[in-house]
Structure 1
Amino acid sequence: MFLTFNLPAQIVQEDGSTRDESELYASTKQVNQFFRRFNGEENQKGKRYYESDKEFREASLRKNYLSLLFDRENQNISTEQKKDFINDVTDKRNPKFLDFHEEGWFAEVNVVFMRNGKEENILLFFKIQEEREGYEWVLEQVSSAHYQEFFDKDKSDEKPFLHPMSHELDFMNLHKSLNQENAVDFTSDEFEEDPLSIFLYEMASNQIEFKTVTGSKFHFFQCEGWYFQIAEYNRKGYNSGWLISDLTPIEKQDVPKLKSFIYEAK
């Protein structure tokens, strides 16, 4: 008597290790695949569903996939919060989907640059923008600890200032003030620094040089009432690839404030 078993296929990785075929299917290997799984537009083996298919964006399929799209090792997202999120985005009365080409999501890329022979990390933020007959990623903002140190404005009662009668002296006191103090202290209350312009100038004048990308993640505001972030986890097991690494409910009026907080992260 011969017994036969249906064993999962073994796939050899670049490092020589193997993974079960089922494990590979479970991993969300690409960001585009995260979109499809979130929306319920493919089955468990990666087969695409289209609008003509009855399974396309089917609520039960989405609930099954969404429960698998969280980083299970992250203890900061509670089970109850996950449940509330999944139920909300799959609500048949008002389901919420992700759209690659729409606003409401952006990329955060950690890049290493060289400045005066030393490495420096700068965060670059990109968004999708329509261009002619297609789309492209465009640089929207940057964040750098190096830039921030020049914009640490003194807001105390003792902050330096230019005397209101300086104009009668042809502003001759500028020489002393600007040499001894931080120039940003003399800006108006409405002044806001523009790190992106500084970055572009430094690139154009060869003050910094691109070296390598060390990582990236994506921020989403497309599901009204929620903010979430996805990051890539390269590890063994089914819970790998692009997964939700942060989730929080958010009111619409608080979205700009949270975006500013993300942009200012170092």
Structure 2
Amino acid sequence: MRKLAVIIILFITSIELAPGQGLYSPGSPQDDGRFAASTKQVNQFFRRFNGEESADGTKRYYEDDSNYRNRELRGKFISILFDNETSGIQNNLKTEFMKDVLSEPLPQYLAFHRGEWFAEVATTFIYKGKRENVTLFMKLQPEGLGYEWVVDRVSFAPFKNLFKKPQGDQKSFLHPMSHEIGFMNLRKAFQDNKLPEAYTPKEYEPDYLTLFLYEVKNGNLKFDNISDVKFHFFQINDWYFELNQFNRPGFNTGWLISNLIKLKPGDKEVVQKFIYDQN
């Protein structure tokens, strides 16, 4: 309950009282169409966040260019990398985030291969003749001379419903003297009991990814479609943000930050658990 209370507080603090307001007043660079053009690709989000492309998006900047990672350019870019229409992130939270990211002499940047970010892919599979939602959590890993995306976790409701480990007085158990009868009472655990997970250690967690792959290999789970993709970032010290794609008229479109949370010690693990468990 304490963890649930913490995560609720974290998300409440990210809600803005006056939705739709940006970091800057009208007439500022935020309203300049050059900067507000859609961030069409995730890689472009990285470049803009780091200040590695021109304002109009037509030129890449590299380390030998004087404009590379220019602080002023980064500030203008980051200010338009928020979803300012629907997410309702507080302006003061955006300002604090930008201050931390742009702080001198040690500004912070995003790095594609550094880890601490992952994809959440909403898919559908056909399972036992029925279309079911499956959430895949993907991460990058080194492979040969490059990198590859791999499935790191899976969330699938039918699997979760299979494992409902009882607690307290409701939990079956093997008597501590079971060894003296050669564990003959294992028959009770595996033949007469419909919840064999009751006989596992307290720290036991079902390996849903292995179950998922097993069902795929046996033809019981068949890929159907992808309905949504989002990304979760923990690369910026003491911050978490979520990246979503918005397809809509106007300038505030493309890949944008849709959620922003200032992390205190211990919050990172709570947020990660919430992300994995909410599906």
What interval of TM-score do these two structures reach, taking the shorter chain for normalisation? 0.7 to 0.9
Indicate the larger mover: 40-49 or 221-230. 40-49
Indicate the larger mover: 73-82 or 26-35. 73-82
Secondary structure of the equivalent of 2:223? strand
Q: CA 1:100–1:122 in structure 2 vs 1: closer, same or farther (change >3 Å)?
A: same
* Alignment counterpart, residue 107 of structure 2, candidates 89, 92, 95: 95
Q: CA deviation at 1:256?
A: 3.1
> What's 2:63 paired with?
51
> What's 2:120 paired with?
108
Asked if structure 2 preserves the Cα contact closer than 8 Å seen for 1:25 and 1:45, the reply is: no
Asked if structure 1 preserves the Cα contact closer than 8 Å seen for 2:127 and 2:222, the reply is: yes
**Who wins on radius of gyration, i.e. which is larger?**
1
* Alignment counterpart, residue 213 of structure 1, candidates 219, 226, 240: 226
| Residue-by-residue CA offset, 1:180-234 (whole Å, 9 max, x unaligned) | 3411111111212211111111111111000111110001011011000100111
CA RMSD in angstroms comes to 1.9
Q: CA deviation at 1:23?
A: 7.9
Structure 1: 5+ residue stretches without partners? 1-21
Within 1, Cα distance between the matches of 2:99 and 2:207? 40
> What's 1:202 paired with?
215
Secondary structure of the equivalent of 1:139? strand
Secondary structure of the equivalent of 1:92? coil
* Alignment counterpart, residue 237 of structure 1, candidates 250, 253, 269: 250
Give the TM-score normalised by structure 2: 0.82
Structure 2: which amino acid aligns with 1:102?
R
Q: CA deviation at 1:165?
A: 3.1
> What's 1:11 paired with?
none
Within 1, Cα distance between the matches of 2:71 and 2:34? 24
Listed as ranges, the matches of 1:1-266 within 5 Å are: 22=33, 26-46=37-57, 47-178=59-190, 179-251=192-264, 253-266=266-279
Asked if structure 1 preserves the Cα contact closer than 8 Å seen for 2:35 and 2:55, the reply is: no
Secondary structure of the equivalent of 1:119? strand
Secondary structure of the equivalent of 1:157? helix
| Residue-by-residue CA offset, 1:105-131 (whole Å, 9 max, x unaligned) | 111101100001101111111111111
| Residue-by-residue CA offset, 1:100-156 (whole Å, 9 max, x unaligned) | 111111111011000011011111111111111111111111111111112221122
Structure 2: which amino acid aligns with 1:210?
F
Percent sequence identity over aligned pairs: 47
Q: CA deviation at 1:248?
A: 0.3
Asked if structure 2 preserves the Cα contact closer than 8 Å seen for 1:112 and 1:119, the reply is: yes
Asked if structure 2 preserves the Cα contact closer than 8 Å seen for 1:25 and 1:44, the reply is: no
Indicate the larger mover: 158-167 or 105-114. 158-167
Within 2, Cα distance between the matches of 1:40 and 1:169? 70
Give the TM-score normalised by structure 1: 0.86
Structure 2: 5+ residue stretches without partners? 1-32
Secondary structure of the equivalent of 2:168? coil
Indicate the larger mover: 119-128 or 68-77. 68-77
Within 2, Cα distance between the matches of 1:109 and 1:97? 24
Structure 1: which amino acid aligns with 2:60?
R
Secondary structure of the equivalent of 2:232? strand
Q: CA deviation at 1:166?
A: 3.1
Asked if structure 2 preserves the Cα contact closer than 8 Å seen for 1:219 and 1:230, the reply is: yes
